[in-house]
Structure 1
Amino acid sequence: MKQNHLNSDTIELLSQSELKALDARIGANADKWLKDHAPKTKSKAKREPKSNRGRKPKVVENPFFGFIGSTSHWGRYPVFAESIIEGAARLDWHDRPIGKGGKSMPLSVSNIAVILESLPVISNEAVEDLLHLGERHARRYFKAMQLIIPQMMERRPRSLINEMDGVEPEPKACEWEDRDDACAPSAEALDKLHHDLRTLTEYKTAEEYEAEFYSFTTQSNSVNFSTRQQHPMKAKVVQMLLEGATCKAVEQETSVSAKTIRKWRDEMITAQGPLQAA
């Protein structure tokens, strides 16, 4: 923006052509700054396709393709192959003489697992494209696979061998493992259990009820009904009536209803003769 020094209240805006020129100048300065200060990134050189002449590149068949991986039963890192893969990854693949500088890093166990999971046929070029590595570094992984696969074939468990050979597993009967480690209860514990489970009755003991139950179940082709239980206060009521007590006094003493007392009194009168009226 341009400001008129003669009149501070008057402001002149840039024209469209001046704005375009300013935008181009700022953009050029930004591009120059990025070119001078942006981090340098190394890009993998494009590999030229090899001709069909000469010796064919070495390849290794991967028999574990489709059987080992993150979506398989064995997983990406099968237990039987862990020591084989880790041992091969830790070898001195850089082969530097003693005293010579340089950093000798082991191979990546994760990269080896990805190769076993992803490549049915392993070659140096296939490893380059899969892991985005240079030719020399990819060659180390290719040589490692030449050592790993034969060792894994020898260490395969029987179930994996059958799976790779297409042999269906034989059905097995279900085997139940008895995990009940409870001990036999003591005599005191059994007595307490029987006491806690006893039949709680009002008019008979548990032994009397058990005797009636066994007597009922042992009889064949017949049904026996137990006699009606007598009211526990009837004997006392009858005795008080015989002694000449009134119905009201008997009711207060025994908490038996007056209707029931009169009923028992009438039964006594019918059976034994008249008693003293209440």
Structure 2
Amino acid sequence: MKFTVLGGSGLIGSQVVEQLTAAGHEVTAASLSTGVDVISGKGLKEVLAGADAVINLTNSPVFDETSIGFFETSMNNVVAAAEEAGLRHHVILSIVGLDEVPGLDYYRAKMLQEDILTSGPTPYSIVRATQFFEFVQAVLSMTTEGDVVRLPATPVQPMASADVVAAVVRTATGTPVQGVRNVAGPEMFHLDELGRVTLAARPDGRHVVTDAEAGMFAVVPGDALLPPPDAQLAATRYGDWLEQQPPTG
């Protein structure tokens, strides 16, 4: 098959390109660096011409309310270009439970992205994944004050980006789902507990204090970010993944 991967230079996109290429598919990686702009539409028509499917992994550069405009404009452009190119499959990566967290602007933006996709004419698949292992340190940094990290006890079930990539590739090379495929890691943590596990494995002098009002995940109600019963669970455990990471600093 011939794939175009929008956002093909990012954390997920670069791995998707690598896996599809290794499997013998023809893959075009598209991004701003290759002259493709999903906001202006520049280069979209050309990069989708002749493709069987598009995997849209583009992301807003910010996570506040302006992300809504990013996804509205970019998705309208990509959906129109995919229709013109006659693509047989349009795949996007989204977030488990996003429709249950209206208090987060970024989640509302991703929900809009899904809505635009499902309203379009091209057969589609939505892969909803839980939070990535790779972003845990960034979450800790957002609520760090001196040597204290404040985190709520929000339940999460994170997964390795490599497992997200496998789910995206599996979905993109299959028949369009015409709906949502949920994927998640094998273990549930409370976010404050996840922070403590992380700092125990990578001590840097900080410690976690549980704070129900700290950070972006404080607005998440109950277990909204946990996967539904039909989710496909990946095999990689967080502790095993942490052991394989190179030391920092």
**What interval of TM-score do these two structures reach, taking the shorter chain for normalisation?**
under 0.3
Higher share in strand: 2
Name which one, 1 or 2, has greater alpha-carbon Rg.
1
Structure number with higher relative contact order (C-alpha < 8 Å, ≥ 6 residues apart) = 2
* TM-score of the two chains, using structure 1 as the length reference: 0.18
Which structure features the higher share of helix residues? 1
Question: TM (normalized to structure 2)?
Answer: 0.20
